[in-house]
A and B are shown apart, each in its own frame.
Chain A
């Protein structure tokens, strides 16, 4: 049973297994373990990012191509829900239309970008996705009639998922059951299902071909696999999963704007999480997302403290300002690509393999 669920891809390290189980339990019981609104939002954000980053890893880690348009598909998902519920009202039909429309748009767009740029030259893909994502971001903030422009869209979700929905009088284990909690568990189930689906994909024969292409494109082609077809399929799949992650985000925030789902910062976050967690391991995205999102709030506080402590030295204070968070993220990113290319999961697995040998 477990074998089938994990697609025969076990953590292969005891420490890793323990961490993963801890994360799973922590997320499953987050509303009861970590009370408070903020903790629950962090947990929900972790769920969303696990899916987003795992889908990005399918492209970066397993297929070995870099896309800078991943947040574009994330944004399409979020905008799909936002636009549909604004237009059609807070109904389940609207959600369905939003998700379906977003998936269709992502499918067509990723197919077009993938077929076009991967057919010509794989290295073009990174550049072309960057250009397309930039164009899409501008477009999204300019089509204010549809997307709400820079202000974004605030919308209602179906009654069942909204905070005002409270089916029980009595709190359960000290926590009031409301629509927010139901929404969290909806996200949880979706995230687990999507991550397991991704595991299934990367461990299928199809996933093996992707890895073969990553290792040596020329040989894969020589064996008889159509590299373009596999790469394009991988980019389309990854885009669809990112779209679903975007839908989850919109459902949770009940708001969407260009900065929440399309900004380049989210793209950087994804890159960093994949590298920290370990490229080419779906588990890595879970560990990376937890580490990163917890550190994000923590490190920013730390920077604020450091900046206040260094007020005597203006330049140091400016360097440590919490607004310069991205600077330290960049440094961390470069250092981890140099010295930590296999990420947490890679390190743990290597350590376990050494022990066994």
Chain B
């Protein structure tokens, strides 16, 4: 399966509605199904925001970062501090004032996560380029250190992260209750995907990144410094993980230091499903995982995580390199 085919490969894309329609008879009530589907799409969009950076980092530099989860937790905890300091804005019933609080929280979280990502790349990842075994060990160690430092700064306990006033509650569509925040999450996710897709397909930097993912040496031999590009991608990926962390925290309405490790598991499943290095694949993987988690959480809560593993197994049996294989390795 070549990646240069002109025809758009629509089959993976069709999986998302297929999964949604397939479970409809099991759930029975269409209104419950609609609620779950929107929740799943919202969760999927948040997971996609986090996973997009990781998959590019792997595709571009063959670096498997097990410490990605730490940026998620970091972003979420920074958001608790920022939102906590902006009490009058979050408690106001005016949506615009709420956004005035959430937007800075997201920006600060992204900035902090990006800055820490820069340091992480320099001190943790750079010394072990090209050595997979050590990368896995070192980034895992970095993850532990980061998680413990978060506990030192914010304390080990769970911290509530309440939604701003105007984002709470739900809209009624027929009988189905759809939480407002989930719609906001889907909107933010679409914006991020749009910006990413535009950057990757319409700008020179994006062109270089895509070319680098496909064949690093060729791009280097043309005189471009892939390393510098890679640091940039790593920082942006970390910042996106921070943004995803804020959104995940608001979605769960509380944050714990271990959240990074928990989400990490889902992220790995997503990038394996999507094909390492593929942004489009990550989107499909994230939506599938989000939907699956919500459906099974409703139908058979005890095996929710196993259902995602089963989903991954099924996809890999169909396409062993993930739905959109990119990197030539």
A residues touching B (Cβ–Cβ < 8 Å)? Answer: 60, 64, 66, 116, 120-121, 123-124, 126-128, 130-132, 134-135, 138-139, 142-143, 264, 268, 271, 275, 315, 318-319, 323-324, 326-327, 329-331, 333-334, 337-338, 341
Contacts and interface: CB of A to CB of B under 8 A. Distances in A.
B151 interface: yes
A60 B309 CA distance: 23
Given A127-B272, A128-B272, A327-B149, A333 B137 contact: yes
A86 to B, nearest CB: 20
11 contacts: A66-B136, A66-B137, A116-B313, A120-B320, A126-B66, A134-B262, A135-B306, A271-B137, A327-B149, A330-B142, A330-B145
Interface of B: 64, 66, 124, 127-128, 132-134, 136-138, 140-142, 144-145, 148-149, 151-152, 156, 261-262, 264-265, 268-269, 272, 302-303, 305-306, 308-309, 312-313, 316, 320-321
Given A130-B265, A143-B302, A64 B133 contact: yes
A120 B276 CA distance: 13
Given A327-B148, A333-B137, A337-B134, 12 more contacts: A66-B136, A123-B64, A124-B272, A126-B136, A130-B265, A134-B262, A135-B265, A135-B305, A139-B306, A275-B137, A327-B151, A334-B142
A324 B151 CA distance: 8
Contact of B303 (A60, A139, A323): A139
Nearest to A64: B133
Contact of B140 (A64, A134, A271, A338): A271
A143 B148 CA distance: 30
Contacts of A323: 151, 156
B129 to A, nearest CB: 13
A128 B305 CA distance: 12
B309 A135 contact: yes
Contacts, number: 97
Contact of A120 (B132, B264, B316): B316
B148 A330 contact: yes
Interface centre among B132, B141, B268 (most CB of A within 10 A): B141
Contacts of A326: 144, 148
B144 A333 contact: yes
Nearest to B266: A131
B148 A324 contact: yes
B268 A127 contact: yes
B122 to A, nearest CB: 13
Given A323-B156, A330-B148, A338-B127, A130 B268 contact: yes
Given A143-B302, A319-B152, A330-B148, A123 B138 contact: no
Given A66-B136, A123-B132, A135-B306, A333 B141 contact: yes
A330 B144 CA distance: 6
Contacts of B313: 116
A131 B316 CA distance: 15
B141 A318 contact: no
Contacts of A121: 320-321
Given A138-B305, A142-B302, A330-B144, A131 B137 contact: no
A120 B133 CA distance: 17
Given A139-B302, A337-B134, A337-B141, A318 B152 contact: yes
Contacts of B137: 66, 271, 275, 333, 337
Contact of A131 (B64, B140, B309): B309
A299 B65 CA distance: 29
A64 B137 CA distance: 12
B132 to A, nearest CB: 6
A134 B305 contact: yes
A329 B142 CA distance: 11
Contacts of B320: 120-121
B160 to A, nearest CB: 21
Contacts of A319: 152
A226 B127 CA distance: 32
Contacts of A329: 144
